[in-house]
């Protein structure tokens, strides 16, 4: 045997041992741990506390999406101010102040300041706000010696979680996916969100509630990316353009809960709000999006394959969905044939995505 063959065989043997060691390491670090039913009952003795009433409870991750320039950072900053101060924001209320970290990947310092200021109102405790709201802004906090980690890169997951635990953060807001996950080239790919979803699950396991701000598709009807996200997030909130908003007065949008696992109330129904920049306050406005619009738009997203799923997604009863479908048919806004075609198309798309996911090599 010549020297080259000996070297090749030696390298192959080393690689085989390394693979074996990696397999052993993975076996030690990963397992489906078991627990008794009694342990489950004991862990569930206390109801989840509300972080923000009526829709955000402990352990319930939230996804917020909207088109560019619509006001999603204004909305996110308002949530941050309310939770950190123990105050209110557009009707939502925080039962007590909590430590919040707002991670911003694109705004200037001035723009971030304006958005945070827009969330301050008469219910805001400034002492609590300054004590509990901490900021990480790319413009202000990155330099040659410090760079932002990529939330889509699994190698950063443990450090991100460890740092947030060390800072005693209870709620973390990532604004937004596109600017904090620069390693993702195609946000619509089935595997593009795996790293971020693993981070979200890891944060939930540590008792930290993650809020992810994201962009919508071009038509503004749903978020970019894989339907796999629906299983991870308890709340999925879409901010939509609304004809009832006078943009000369300030930003505004309709708020629609695509998914809500918490309380259903008037605050989780479709509603429109606007920030009046001259007055420095948020107000409710008449929304141009009716329940019929919401129903039809939900069907057109192709996320639902039947009326049962549609009812669960909208947070309505099945009887309520049937009632509004009848009204849509009667108003010629939708036909039964078109509804069935869209449900069938949703089934086909889901089957295709399941096929794609089966082909992906992922440890998610």
pLDDT tens string 237-295: 999 998 889 999 999 999 999 888 887 788 998 899 999 999 999 999 988 777 788 89
Give the residue from 235, 266, 289 where a domain finishes. 289
Picking from 273, 289, 305, the residue at the C-terminal end of a domain is 289
Boundary of a domain, candidates 246, 267, 289:
289
Q: Are 51 and 98 in contact (CB under 8 A)?
A: yes
Verify cis geometry, omega within 30 degrees of 0, for the bond prior to 180.
Answer: no
pLDDT value at position 16?
Answer: 52
Q: What is the pLDDT of residue 292?
A: 82
Regions of the chain short of the pLDDT cut 70: 1-30, 190, 356-364
Structure tokens at 147: 């760079």
User: Which residues, in sequence order, are bridge partners of residue 255?
Assistant: 239, 271
| Same domain? 216 vs 90 | yes
Both 172 and 127 in one domain: the answer is yes
Within a domain: 12:
no
Domain hosting residue 207, numbered range = 50-289
CB 268 within 8 A of CB 261: no
Number of Cβ atoms within 10 Å of the Cβ of 155: 9
Angle at 264 between CA 258 and CA 267, to 5 degrees: 80
Cβ(259)–Cβ(79) under 8 Å? no
The pLDDT, as a whole number, for residue 7 is: 42
Do 71 and 194 sit in the same domain of this protein? yes
What local confidence, expressed as pLDDT, does residue 9 receive? 54
346 and 209 within one domain: no
Per the domain annotation, does 30 fall within a domain?
no
pLDDT score at 39: 86
Is 13 a member of any domain?
no
Give the SS3 label for residue 223. Answer: strand
In sequence order, which ranges of 60-176 are alpha helices (DSSP H)? 72-85, 109-118, 126-132, 138-141, 157-166
CA dist 139 and 141 (Å) reads: 6
Q: What's the pTM value of the predicted model, to 2 decimals?
A: 0.75
Structure tokens at 348: 């086909």
Q: Among all chains, which residue has been given the structure tokens 């693993």?
A: 198
CATH of the domain at 267: 3.40.50.300
Q: How far is CA 184 from the centre of its chain?
A: 17
Number of domains forming the structure of the chain: 2
Q: How far is CA 318 from the centre of its chain?
A: 26
Same domain, 304 and 208: no
> Are 97 and 185 within one domain?
yes
Same domain as 281, residue 307: no
């Amino acid at each position: 045997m010549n020297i080259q063959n000996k070297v090749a065989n030696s390298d192959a043997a080393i690689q085989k041992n390394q693979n074996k060691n990696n397999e052993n390491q993975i076996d030690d670090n990963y397992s489906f741990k078991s627990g008794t039913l009694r342990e489950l009952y004991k862990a569930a003795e206390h109801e989840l506390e509300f972080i923000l009433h009526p829709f955000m409870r402990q352990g319930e991750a939230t996804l917020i999406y909207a088109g560019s320039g619509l006001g999603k950072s204004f909305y996110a900053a308002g949530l941050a101010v309310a939770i950190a101060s123990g105050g209110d924001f557009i009707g939502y209320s925080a039962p007590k102040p909590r430590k919040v970290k707002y991670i911003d990947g694109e705004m200037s310092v001035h723009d971030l300041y304006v958005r945070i200021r827009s969330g301050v109102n008469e219910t805001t405790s400034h002492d609590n706000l300054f004590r509990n709201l901490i900021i990480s802004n790319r413009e202000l906090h990155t330099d040659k010696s410090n760079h932002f980690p990529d939330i889509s890169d699994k190698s950063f997951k443990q450090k991100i979680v460890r740092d947030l635990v060390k800072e005693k953060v209870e709620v973390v807001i990532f604004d937004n996916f596109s600017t904090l996950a620069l390693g993702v080239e195609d946000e619509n790919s089935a595997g593009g969100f795996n790293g971020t979803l693993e981070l979200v699950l890891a944060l939930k396991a540590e008792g930290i509630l993650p809020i992810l701000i994201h962009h919508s598709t071009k038509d503004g009807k749903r978020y970019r990316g894989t339907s796999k996200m629906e299983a991870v997030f308890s709340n999925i909130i879409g901010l939509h353009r609304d004809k009832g908003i006078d943009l000369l007065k300030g930003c505004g949008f309709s708020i629609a809960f695509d998914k809500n696992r918490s309380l259903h109330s008037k605050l989780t129904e479709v509603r429109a709000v606007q920030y009046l920049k001259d007055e420095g306050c948020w107000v409710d406005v008449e929304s141009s999006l009716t329940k019929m619009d919401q129903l039809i738009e939900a069907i057109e997203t192709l996320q639902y394959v039947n009326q049962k799923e549609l009812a669960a997604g909208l947070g309505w009863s099945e009887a309520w969905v049937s009632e509004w479908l009848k009204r849509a048919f009667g108003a010629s806004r939708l036909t039964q044939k078109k509804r069935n075609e869209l449900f069938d198309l949703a089934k086909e798309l889901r089957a295709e995505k399941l096929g794609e996911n089966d082909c992906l090599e992922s440890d998610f």
